[in-house]
Structure 1
Amino acid sequence: MKRRTLLAAVSTGTATVAGCTGKLDGSTNDTEGSGRPDGDENAEREYEECGTGELADEDEDVGRQYEECNHRILHYRILPEDVKTEVDTAFNQGHYESDGELLWEQVAGPGVEALERDGLHYAPQVNVDNGVHVLHFQEITPQYNSTKYLTVHSVPEAPLELSITVTDTEGIVLEETDLTIQERDSDQKVPVASEFGTYLVEVTVEDWGSVTEELTLGSSPEEMLLAIREGDKEDSSFSISIQTSADDGYAACPWEQSI
């Protein structure tokens, strides 16, 4: 946490800090160069109580309740209750305002791009006018820095002819890819999407039919693996599963552990 120095009031060569006095030139009865006065009982007592006479440190964030968090997406469920009150008011009334700094401003650092609430994402905006801080939220769809890919991780047999179609929840086709899998442990990749959202992945295997699985992309997944498993051989059925792994480098917000 940032810290600042507590400046002493200066008057006629004497610094006064919280009732303690000492010479600005640093002169004492010190004979050993340690800064501690020698032979003067009163001076020694003052030294112990007031320190060395150097400028003392004091937390510059006096009055702050929280340290900021810089997760790209800040989740509503982990917010402190008093911050949730500000956020709830902003959603219910269209804005939340305060005559001083908002608690939201304390918890949300400059790296926060959106608040996730009830599965949707909102960009926060704070306006300050004549000392009044006003908080608004606007719904957005966060974008990834690059397209996320689905890896065909395993298949029941090889070679295997299949096609993968990715659609959004409104049925719009986003990607359609035909593949020939030559090995059972495959690593062929299929593009999915470049933004947060829920998608439908349809896998069609020649002579086996089609199976659809829902895939939700929220916090940035490091890997998405598609496994195709053989079902009942009598009706040539099969099943699919999609496993996602998130970034293991997640760190809790400074205030999250105490909630």
Structure 2
Amino acid sequence: SMMNPLTSFGSNSKSNSNQNFSRSISLSIFDRNENEISIQTNLIEPIQLIIPRDPNLIIPSMILQNVTSTNNNTPHNQLFYLNYINITNNITVSIHFEVHPFNISLAYLFIYKFDQTPLLNSSINLIDGWTLFCPSNLTNENIYKYFVNNQQTSDHQSLIFGLRKLNSIEIIEFCSNSSYTNPPITDERFNFTSNYELRIYTSGCYYLDSNNNWKSDGLIVGSLTNHYETECFATHLTTFAGGFIVLPAPIS
């Protein structure tokens, strides 16, 4: 095995910005005659890789979301505060959301939909995923985290996500019950009583093919990915790199 200080650029320059904060790792197995042994596995029993980033990487600050100022400036039928992010890429990426609430006793419902606006009310359920941000889910830094892996984002160009604050009854019903299978439903317009900060970043797992191009097929970004390293699951051994980009403020 070999770890390079920073990833060398492949031939497909469009993906360079994804890997330029990553170290690259080359993994091979040889027999006693120094002949390389081909290793193939599957995604049921994959090879786990942890690829560190540039130790000098500076993580941008979180971005204030002044949602309390929007309570009376949105259409009456808008139930969620919506944001749009562009995920167009020639290689797949995972998306990582970090929400820092100013009032840590509040809880939120998070929903998203690829390539169109998510809708969730008593008569329609048009979402691709959801989660609850309950106080018990806060990290030691008082941050809510959510992760969408690169298999889910494949072949999509955008993601629109929405947040709304849970009311006190919903907090009691849903945040104290881990067995819920459906999100809480309301037809009332969102009403935020406190602001929060937001940071979104993408990550990826890549390998160099025989043409010296970075590719992402057959690789999965793991949930242990963070600011400082990418967790990758692979089915073969070669030269790998992990991608990392902190996205600009999403479009509201």
Q: Tell me whether the two structures share a fold, i.e. TM-score over 0.5.
A: no
User: Could you state the TM-score of these two structures normalised by the residue count of structure 2?
Assistant: 0.28
More strand by share: 1
Flag the structure with larger Rg.
Answer: 1
**Structure of greater relative contact order (alpha carbons < 8 Å, 6+ residues apart):** 2
